[in-house]
């Protein structure tokens, strides 16, 4: 299932996704272009929520704290996707999501994700100097959006 709008980059996930506690979802990112792209795995920000049997789930709690990143972490965190390259990785489809949900009930779970990845989002700002260096070499920061309803199974 393709999650994003861009033609240059495909963000894909095999559906239905297995809903397994404490196991991250693996996404496939494919560069269809002749350009090298910079993707921040924590750079997608927007609106997201869970649905169970077509009804919006309310979080049972919220995570506290936040992910801290110093400029030195940028080289390790950012994904550099070369022309025609394909990779499997984890992504946060909405970095601002703090909800903790109860997945113990049987039924059809859907993850609704609407988010953007661009230079205005909070996490890329920390890495701005490193991103500017890469852009001066011809790399492009991904400017894309996700608008998806991802089915999950238990």
* DSSP assigned state of 4: B
pLDDT digits (tens, 9 = 90+) for 133-144: 999 999 999 999
- Structural domain boundaries of the chain? 9-153
CB 129 within 8 A of CB 78: no
Work out the number of other CB atoms within 10 angstroms of the CB of residue 58.
10
In the predicted model, what is the mean pLDDT of the chain?
Answer: 90
Assigned architecture for domain 9-153: Sandwich (2.60)
pLDDT digits (tens, 9 = 90+) for 72-85: 888 899 999 999 99
């Amino acid at each position: 299932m393709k999650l994003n709008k861009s033609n240059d980059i495909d963000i894909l996930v095999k559906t239905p996704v297995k809903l397994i506690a404490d196991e991250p979802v693996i996404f496939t990112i494919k560069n269809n272009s002749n350009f090298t792209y910079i993707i921040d795995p924590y750079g997608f920000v927007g609106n997201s929520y869970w649905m169970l049997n077509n009804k919006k789930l309310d979080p049972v709690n919220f995570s506290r704290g936040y992910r801290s990143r110093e400029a030195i972490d940028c080289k390790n965190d950012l994904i550099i996707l070369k022309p025609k390259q394909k990779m499997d990785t984890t992504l946060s489809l909405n970095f601002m999501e703090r909800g903790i949900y109860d997945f113990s009930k049987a039924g059809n779970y859907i993850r609704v994700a609407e988010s953007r990845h661009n230079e205005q989002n909070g996490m890329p700002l920390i890495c701005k100097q490193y991103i500017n260096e890469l852009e001066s070499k011809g790399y492009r920061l991904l400017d894309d959006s996700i608008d998806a309803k991802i089915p999950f199974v238990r």
